[in-house]
């Protein structure tokens, strides 16, 4: 659906985007996460045809979006991180105006707009003035506006910012419904928790670069592998150390009292194999567990600018000589 390659954008001396790559499959609900200033909005503006990159390419459905901006706009529905509403304009007139901007007029536009307003729960608010709506309603109106021309990709820049928890939940539900109907959605946020339960895919961006991207399953697997296995030895520590030092999937070993922390890059099956091997060489084990990993911790690690890597509590204790 969307293929972004080597996107670069420089404002003066500031590199907003520094060779960003991104792939979104058909029907995906893609969470685009990064801290403030990571380059999310710039990327979204380029994808939506509102900004030209200094370098790079954007393909939507196999079409070079930068060379065919009008074609691009037919395929994309853009929801920014603000509402963009007019004073003195009713909801139905607001929808009519944007329908006309997409070249839709008359009965067809009216029906489409009515259908979308019903879908986002604003069917009974047609005669309300737009500036009198609540934040949640304005956001839903913006969503309906972006869907007027039946786009293939819905691009949303921090849509739930400033919404109360209940409205946020309702908004998520609407997005889930849209995604279930086959709509591909790109959703940005600086809060990973916002997207973790909602998205099928996620991309973590920082300093204009994609740090981590893939489906939620792939990322969960990577997080799992990244966490160390903590083996609590009851007896025969030397045999355990000898086996682990020779094991091809072990990257590093740390020892603290009767516990060994192992960076093991194998799958769950290989993990159980390691346990069997340890038992076979006569090691008596009272604990064998991977430290639980979570997406938020990885996000914090990836986007940490203060240190190259965040030490785990275990390493910290070890360095402190505890």
Partner 1 sequence: MNMIKNPVYKREMRVSARSFRLALVLLVFNGILALVALLNMYSMLAQIRVTAEIQYSSFLDLYLFMAVLEFVMLVFIMPAITAGSISGERERQTLDLMLSTKMAPIQIILGKLAASLSTMVLLIISSFPILALVFVYGGVTIKDIVMLLACYGAAALFVGSLGVCCSALFRKSTLSTVVAYGIMGGVVIGTYGINQLALFFNRMPGGGYFTAASAGTGDGSSGGFLYLLLMNPTVTFVMTMLRLSGREAASGNITQWFGNHGENFVSQNWVGCSVVIQIVMAVILIRVAVWAVSRGRRPGKNHYRGSAAWQETKKNKNRLKNRHDGISLGFCHVCF
Interface residue list for partner 1 (CB under 8 A): 5-6, 19, 21, 23, 45, 48-57, 66-67, 69-70, 73-74, 76, 78, 80, 82-89, 93, 97-98, 100-103, 105, 145, 149, 204, 210-214, 218-219, 222, 226, 251-252, 263, 298, 301-302, 309
Closest CA to 245 of 274, 279, 287, 269: 274
Between residues 88 and 181, which has the closer beta carbon with respect to partner 1?
88
Instruction: Specify the residue, 67 or 115, whose C-beta has the smaller distance to partner 1.
Output: 67
CA atoms of 116 and 244, how far apart (whole Å): 60
- In the complex, least distance from residue 158 CB atom to partner 1, rounded to whole angstroms: 14
**CA 247, 285, 264: angle at the middle one, nearest 5?**
30
Q: Nearer Cβ to partner 1, position 89 or 230?
A: 89
Residue with Cβ nearer partner 1 (210 or 231): 210
Structure tokens given for 301: 């690690």
Q: How far is the CB of 211 from partner 1 (least distance, A)?
A: 4
Min separation Cβ 286 and partner 1, Å: 26
C-alpha to C-alpha distance for 47 and 184, rounded to whole angstroms: 14
Angstrom distance (rounded) from CA 298 to CA 226: 9
Phi-psi region of 177 (alpha: psi -120 to 50; beta: other; left: phi over 0): alpha
Residue 138 CB, nearest approach to partner 1 (Å): 12
Q: Strand locations in 167-249, DSSP E?
A: 184-189, 201-206, 209-215, 229-235
| Contact call for residues 95 and 170 (beta carbons, < 8 A) | no
| Residue (of 76, 97, 80) closest to 150 by Cα position | 76
Residue 50 is classified by DSSP as S
Q: How far is the CB of 147 from partner 1 (least distance, A)?
A: 13
Q: Closest CB to partner 1 among 85 and 285? A: 85
Closest CB to partner 1 among residues 53, 159: 53
Compute the least distance from the CB of residue 222 to partner 1, in Å: 5
Question: What is the SS3 assignment for 229?
Answer: strand
């Amino acid at each position: 659906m969307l293929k972004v390659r080597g996107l670069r954008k420089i404002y003066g001396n500031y590199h907003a985007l520094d060779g960003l790559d991104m792939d979104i499959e058909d029907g995906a609900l893609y969470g685009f996460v990064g801290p403030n200033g990571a380059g999310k909005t710039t990327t979204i503006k380029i994808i939506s045809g509102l900004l030209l990159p200094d370098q790079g390419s954007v393909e939507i459905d196999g079409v070079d979006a930068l060379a065919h901006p009008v074609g691009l706009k037919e395929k994309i529905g853009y929801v920014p991180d603000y509402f963009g509403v007019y004073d003195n304009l009713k909801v139905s007139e607001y929808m009519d105006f944007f329908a006309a901007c997409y070249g839709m007029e008359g009965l067809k536009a009216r029906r489409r707009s009515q259908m979308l307003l019903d879908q986002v729960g604003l069917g009974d608010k047609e005669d309300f003035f737009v500036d009198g709506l609540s934040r949640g309603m304005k956001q839903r109106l913006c969503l309906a506006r972006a869907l007027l021309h039946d786009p293939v990709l819905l691009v949303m820049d921090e849509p739930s910012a400033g919404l109360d928890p209940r409205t946020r939940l309702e908004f998520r539900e609407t997005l889930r419904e849209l995604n279930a109907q086959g709509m591909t959605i790109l959703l940005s946020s600086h809060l990973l928790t916002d997207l973790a339960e909602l998205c099928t895919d996620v991309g973590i961006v920082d300093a204009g670069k994609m740090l981590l991207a893939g489906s939620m399953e792939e990322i969960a697997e990577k997080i799992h592998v990244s966490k160390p296995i903590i083996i609590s030895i009851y007896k025969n520590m030397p045999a355990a150390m000898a086996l682990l030092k020779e094991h091809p999937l072990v990257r590093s070993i740390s020892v603290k009292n009767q516990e060994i922390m192992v960076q093991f890059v194998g799958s769950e099956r290989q993990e159980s194999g390691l346990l069997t091997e340890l038992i076979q060489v006569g090691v008596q084990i009272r604990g064998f567990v991977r430290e639980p990993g979570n997406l938020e911790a990885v996000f914090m690690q990836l986007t940490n600018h203060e240190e190259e890597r965040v030490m785990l509590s275990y390493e910290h204790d070890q360095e402190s000589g505890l």
